[in-house]
Amino acid sequence: METNTLVALVIAQLGLFGLSAFFSSSETAIMALNRYRLRHLAEKKHRGAGRALKLLENPDGFIGFVLLGNNFVNVLLAQIATLVTLQLFGESAIWIASLVLTALILIFAEVIPKTFAALNPERVAYPATLVIIPLMTLLKPLVALINLTTRALLKPFNVSTDRSQMDMIDREELRTVVKEAGALIPQKHRDMLFGILDLEKVTVEDIMVPRTDMTAIDLDQDWMDVREQLITCRHTRVPCYRGSVDEVVGILHLRSLTRLLRRNEELDLEELEALLTEPYYVPLKADLHTQLINFQMEKQRLALVVDEYGDLSGLVTLDDVLEQVVGEFTTVPQFNARGVQKQPDGSLLVDGSANVRELNRAYGWNLPEEDAKTLNGLIMESLEDIPDTGTSFRVRGYTIEILQTTAQGVRSARIFPPFEREDSGQG
């Protein structure tokens, strides 16, 4: 073989190495593109993103073309290498040439280009589409034949090539995306996004004000006592009942009462009852996403919560639901959750009726909230009994000391978080 021919073959091999590296890096870069950023850039008329998105809309066609080109180049490389080896070293060197060529292809046409492309997908993918799209158009009949064959072989395994289905993510995957956004999304905004994602996992029961803590007005009591409650009430809307809190007759909006007082300094019970609106009831197990929509549809801001037997369990407001997304609207010194007071030693005095989920959210704790909604319920669930005052025990590393009890349950307890107190104890 003439020297010029050998030089031409070596140059051809170098060119084929470049083509193989191009196909390998293009495949890795385009498949590694962030789909959501890609759509965002395409909507802003970014040409490279638009071309890449077009390729990803037909992934089997793109992959088929890349593999066709890559395999053709690699086979041609092997044939030329065999021809050159035979001419220079004879048949005995064929196996050595195969090992050397495999190593060269692996390093220079696979590992290095794919690693660079994976680390710089946009830098590689957008220019590569300028070459790939015209070539795919030129070889469209051959690529279509490969696609038909691929789909026919995948069909028995129920494998879909629909990219739209492949790009869909579920709720937990979206949580991971938000979590990994890091500094790109401020912590406050991330907390709000997590709150929105958790709305379907949290029920009205988790956030309601229990009936024992409800502020309500008994219309059967002395009128002067009713007036005193109206004057000292801190809420905008108050349930009104007769005899028993289960017999709610209506909801009083204190703004309506103020307007009436402006026109008439004297107010009696009959005029007060005329201001009451129909109570709005919701089920105990309704998730917050559904309840938020229902509040909007019914144009309500306060709902009475009933259990499966129709008995009153508590009340929930629109503000309670929104606070699950945006956090607490107000803060009170020394109190970060209802019924909680911080102590100088790092422990917290907690009312037995305190909501466990609120404690976890307010202090970043990990108390179990699956089976019990209140601290009292958690304690009795853990001990399977109503404990005596002074009893101490641990739940997930949190030391809980019982301070006050009644015949019905725990009134208050002291909680030592794991990072505040490491000693263990069992009372």
Q: Which range (254-268, 356-370, 409-423) has the least confidence?
A: 254-268
CA angle 369, 375, 377 (to 5 degrees): 80
Both structure tokens of 80: 């030329």
Helix, coil or strand: residue 18: helix
**Can you give the pLDDT at residue 165?**
52
Predicted structure pTM score: 0.60
CA distance 109 to 19: 8
What average pLDDT score do residues 136-165 get?
A: 76
Domain coordinates in residue numbering, the chain: 3-166, 206-326, 340-416
* Mean pLDDT (whole number) for 205-233: 87
The arithmetic mean of pLDDT across residues 15-43, rounded, is 91
Please compute the mean of the pLDDT values over residues 89-103 and round it to a whole number: 86
Q: What is the pLDDT of residues 30-57, one digit of tens each?
A: 999 988 889 889 999 999 999 999 998 8
b/e burial code for range 88-108 (CB count within 10 A of at least 16 → b): eeeeeeeeebeeebeebbeeb
Which of 139-153, 181-195, 260-274 bottoms out in mean pLDDT, i.e. has the lowest? 260-274
* 206-326 placed in CATH 3.10.580.10: yes
pLDDT score, position 129: 94
Report the C-alpha gap between 259 and 415 in whole angstroms.
Answer: 46
pLDDT confidence of 188, banded at 50, 70, 90? confident
Of the listed ranges 100-109, 310-319, 355-364, the least confidently predicted one is: 355-364
Tokens of 406: 């009644």
Which of 48, 54, 19, 43 lies closest to 121, judged by CA?
48
Report the pLDDT averaged over residues 199-225. 88
What confidence score (pLDDT) does residue 333 get? 38
Question: Residue 132: left if φ>0, alpha if ψ -120 to 50, beta else—which one?
Answer: alpha
| DSSP of 118-175 | HHSHHHHHHHHHHHHHHHHHHTHHHHHHHHHHHHHHHGGGT----HHHHT---HHHHH
What percent of the chain lies above the pLDDT cut of 90?
36
Per DSSP, the chain holds a count of helices (H) and strands (E) of 19, 12
pLDDT of residue 394: 92
Among residues 371, 375, 369, 374, the alpha carbon closest in space to that of 403 is found at 375
Distances in Å between the alpha carbon of 164 and those of 26, 133, 147, 169, 379? Answer: 21, 21, 18, 10, 48
Of residues 201 and 161, more confidently modeled: 201
Percent of the chain residues topping a pLDDT of 70: 90
- Average confidence score pLDDT of the chain: 85
Please tell me the CATH code under which domain 340-416 is placed. Answer: 3.30.465.10
- Kindly tell me if the per-residue pLDDT of 418 is higher than 80: yes
- In three-state form (DSSP H/G/I as H, E/B as E, the rest C), the secondary structure along 65-117 is HHHHHHHHHHHHHHHHHHHHHHHHCCHHHHHHHHHHHHHHHHHHHHHHHHHHH
Reply yes or no on whether the pLDDT at 220 is more than 50: yes
Q: What is the DSSP letter of 13?
A: H
pLDDT at position 422: 42
State pLDDT tens for residues 225-249.
888 888 888 888 999 999 889 899 9
Q: Find all residues with CB under 8 Å of 193, minimum gap 6, and list them.
A: 178, 185
Map 173-189 to HEC letters: HHHHHHHHCHHHCCHHH
Q: What is the mean pLDDT of residues 135-143?
A: 86
pLDDT confidence of 28, banded at 50, 70, 90?
very high
- Average confidence (pLDDT) over 366-387: 87
DSSP 270-298: HHHHHT-B---EEETT-BHHHHHHHHHHH
- Window from 125-134, 167-176, 238-247, 368-377 with minimum mean pLDDT: 167-176
pLDDT at 92 over 70: yes
86/91 Cα distance (integer angstroms): 6
Sheet holding 217-218, edge to edge: 217-218, 237-242, 244-253
pLDDT tens-place string over residues 325-341: 887 665 443 334 556 88
